[in-house]
Amino acid sequence: MCFAKKTTSNERASQKSPKNVTLVLAILMASTFSASYSQSMMNIALPHIADKFGVTLSIANWVVIGFTIVAATSITMAAALMSRMGLRKLFAFSAGCLAVGSLIGVLSFSFPVLVAARLVQAIATGMLFPVVTGVIAILVGTDRRGAVLALNSGIIGIGQAVGPLISGLLLTYFDLHIMFIPTLVLGIALFAAGVFVLYNVEDRSRTPIDLLSVALAFVGLAALMYGLGELTHDTLPAVVGLVIGAVVLAVFVVRQLKIKAPLLNLSPLRHSGFTIGVVLVMFGMMGTAAMSLLLPLFYEGTTGDTPFEAGILISIPLVAYGLLAVVGGKIFDKKGIFPVVPFGYLLAVIGFFGIFFTAQHVLPYAVLAFSFGIYVGNSFIVAPSKTMALNLLSKDLYSYGAAINSIFVQIANSIGASLFVGVLSADVLRETAQGMSRASAYGVGFSHALIISIVIAVAALILAFAYSWKMRKHKAHAQATGDPNRFNPHS
């Protein structure tokens, strides 16, 4: 049975007029800006949180890890809730969560309440990212989809740049609680826009929500992220956490494949081309997630910058990423995935190596210069890889493909937050206990975490080249034979 209000064909045509679609896309992209701002706003504050509440960096990092776990769990429900509630109600609910979580943050005066605020905010991010991608795939044709998805990725990048910058300013000259006021305002504004402007782009149905699957996703991700974060602190409990997380997530996957109404339709993963595409997105986001957390720790812990100064240094390459993401999408629309994605990973590899060597000599501006390679490289990775993956799916799988892509991104963010910051935190505790200065200890931890990033980036470069070359050959063969059905990237 459909929940949607019945409309005449003329009303439907009016709703989906080019002008109305443009307005809808503008509101949706404003929401992804707000979601990315919310996700990145605490990256600059970890040293301050650790000092203010008397906890280690690893514990303070749960304002980031907890956020990504809840966001990833919310993503698993996004497609089902979209079908059940429709775009308008789901958007209003998500914006409301952003506002409520921000209000809790403004009023928080203890670490547990601060974490709670972040968890409520994370519901909004988890819902908005896949919903916006799915709606773009529905409303925009394949001839322009790459550019529009790239524009959306660019706006996400701008949100990631503005978040640390504004938060650093507010944290340096005001207080931790004041950092939540911008997201409170954004949440209220988006709620009003969603209620009065948005409409449902698909028919609604009584899609069931499998609560056991929700619990499995949350517990599995939480255990996995705990294990990654504590691996260098408490090895045995961390390994137990990793094992529990892997087992629970495996049960989640098996359940999705067996039940009649899965929380998350995993059938897009049966397409090898789609799967590799979202893995490339994940690897790209893992690198930038790691840098967005590690660079503030380096600037504040090693070179002694204030949160505001560190926010400026972080925001500059992120703005470049946001602007150039549109270029990457346009190149994809014209040329395809080769050579744009391998080129992006090549830039990222150069950036990681450059930061590794310059950070050891505490050269902050050289580190800044090489960080451009990572972020600019990502502007040629994320949107083209995501668009390639979605283009391989049928229309009925767009929303599920978008949700899977967003989950992979959140997993990348979680790994970046837990593993890399965990390594740095363990090094700081160990080295300072042995008499090393705090600044030098931060530098040692930063270098060790970068080694992991370099290995991942090199592996991703090899995969990107092989995958994009295969996609290029398939497309060229299909064009030569004049038979579009010969282009079968799933094989």
Show me where the domains of the chain are located: 9-209+263-480, 210-262
453-467: b (≥16 Cβ within 10 Å) or e:
bbebbeebbebbbeb
Q: What is the pLDDT of residues 254-298, one digit of tens each?
A: 999 899 888 888 989 988 999 999 999 999 989 888 888 889 888
- Quickly list DSSP for 277-333: HHHHHHHHHHHHHHHHHHHHHHHHHTS---HHHHHHHHHHHHHHHHHHHHHHHHHHH
Class of domain 9-209+263-480: mainly alpha
Helix (H, G, I), strand (E, B) or coil at 81: helix
pTM above 0.95, yes or no: no
**pLDDT given at position 224:** 86
311-341: b (≥16 Cβ within 10 Å) or e:
bbbbbebbbbbbebbbbbbbbbbeebbbbbb
- Could you say which residues of the chain have pLDDT below 70? 1-19, 475-491
Give which of 87, 84, 92 is closest to 209, Cα–Cα.
84
